[in-house]
Amino acid sequence: MQSFPKVSSRLMGYLMLASLGLFWGLNWPGMKIALEELPVWWFRSLSVGVGALGLLLIALISGLRVRPTRAEFGPLLICTVFNILGWHILTAYGVSLMAAGRASIIAFTMPVWAALLAAVLLGEKITIWKVIGLTLGVAGLCVLIGPDLAALGAAPLGAIFMLGASLSWAMGTVLFKKFNWDLPVASAIGWQLAIGALVITGFAVSLEPAPDLSQLSWRAIGALAYLFVFPMIYCQWAFFTVVRIFPAAIASIGTLAVPVVGVFSSALILGEPVGSADIAALALIFCALVLVLVAPSLAKRL
């Protein structure tokens, strides 16, 4: 039976979940700025490559084990297929075929699929709190998608790619939880990013001309610096650390805050409009997070 983590570990997990909502949410306007000046595949190649280098360097400087054992190589490859290749390749195509903001919302239906896959592959219970939380969370995402249902219908292939990306990330999250890792999180995620970077760079070389990085504006350079440090290094490490602390379903539900932060940060940074649907979605997703992360503990004390 899996033992519960110490209170200090759980508190750290909650703080990491909160930071993921903020930093991954800010990732979307940052991506929009960077992609105005970089081709999609080269952007993916650079971001995944820098993320790999940063995490492996952090592991090395921290004195953590960096080299995987022969037994860990297979799980690394399997998780790379879903967490890195499936996610980045499918989102690259999906974003190119539909509006980036709405594409991100479809991508973050991931908690639904993660909860179902965790029940099947990990034997995690689907509690009433998770059911209500997932229902409210998905309702919030539907409120955001609602105004653009016609646009989704006009671009079904883009929506299919984004749904595939969501399923891929969900499977990768559950598999990462399922495998027994002695390799530290920074090293395990660093190697997944490194393997993924090699494949994505191969696609970039074959599909797009190499960009002239000297022509990037300071706005794009600033966006890239943020994306490299926070979403690609810190958030990758923090998310899979949270997956080790909490059940996979709860860890993934914590990401429901990301698209809401993305909507409002895009309004502040890019001047995109925020309507009543955005505010309603924020309220629904906030309630979902409270029900899944806070309510069970309060119920036990009563």
- pLDDT of the chain, 302 residues: tens digit per residue: 344 444 467 788 888 988 998 999 898 889 888 988 999 889 999 999 999 999 999 999 999 999 999 999 999 999 999 999 999 888 877 777 776 666 777 787 788 888 889 989 999 888 888 888 888 878 887 787 666 555 555 557 877 888 899 999 999 999 999 998 999 999 999 999 999 999 999 999 999 999 999 999 999 999 999 999 999 999 999 999 998 888 887 787 777 788 788 878 888 888 877 778 778 877 887 787 777 766 776 667 65
Model pLDDT, residue 298: 65
Q: Any idea where the domains of the chain sit in the sequence?
A: 16-301
CA torsion sign for 67, 72, 77, 78 is negative
Q: CA 71 → CA 36, 52, 177, 286, distances in Å?
A: 42, 21, 16, 41
Answer yes or no: are the C-beta atoms of 196 and 88 closer than 8 Å.
Answer: yes
3-state helix, strand, coil in the chain (%, to 5): 85, 0, 15
Residue found under tokens 């999250």 = 173
Model pLDDT, residue 154: 56
Model pLDDT, residue 230: 95
**pTM score, two decimals?**
0.84
Residue found under tokens 């190697």 = 191
Answer yes or no: are the C-beta atoms of 208 and 39 closer than 8 Å.
Answer: yes
The C-alpha torsion from 163 through 231 and 247 to 62, rounded to 10°, is 150
Model pLDDT, residue 198: 96
Q: Which helix (H) or strand (E) holds 219?
A: helix 218-229
Distance CA 87, CA 74 (A): 19
b or e along 30-54 (b: 16 or more beta carbons within 10 Å of the residue's beta carbon)? bbbbbbebbbbbbbbbbbbbbbbbb
Helix axes 185-207, 87-97, angle to 10 degrees: 50
| Residue 286 CB coordination number (10 Å) | 16
